[in-house]
Amino acid sequence: MPTLLTALALLAGSTAATAREMVAVNRTEINMRSGAGTHHQALWVLSRGYPLQVLSHKGQWLQVRDFENDRGWVFKPLTSTHSPHHVVKVQVLNIRSKPSLHSRVLAKAARGEILKTLGRKGDWVKIKQEDGPMGWVSRRLVWGW
pLDDT tens-place string over residues 46-76: 999 999 999 999 999 999 999 999 999 999 9
**pLDDT for 43 beyond 70:** yes
Q: How far apart, in whole angstroms, are the C-alpha atoms of residue 78 and residue 42?
A: 15
pLDDT band at 20 (very low <50, low <70, confident <90, very high): confident
Reduced to 3 states, what is the DSSP secondary structure of residue 140?
A: helix
Q: Residue 144 region, left (φ>0) first, then alpha (ψ -120 to 50), else beta?
A: left
* Helix spans in the chain (H): 2-18
Q: Is 16 exposed, middle or buried (0-12, 13-18, 19+ CB in 10 A)?
A: exposed
Rounded Cα–Cα distance for residues 114 and 142 (Å)? 9
Whether pTM > 0.85 for this model: the answer is no
pLDDT digits (tens, 9 = 90+) for 69-113: 999 999 999 999 999 999 999 999 999 999 999 999 999 999 999
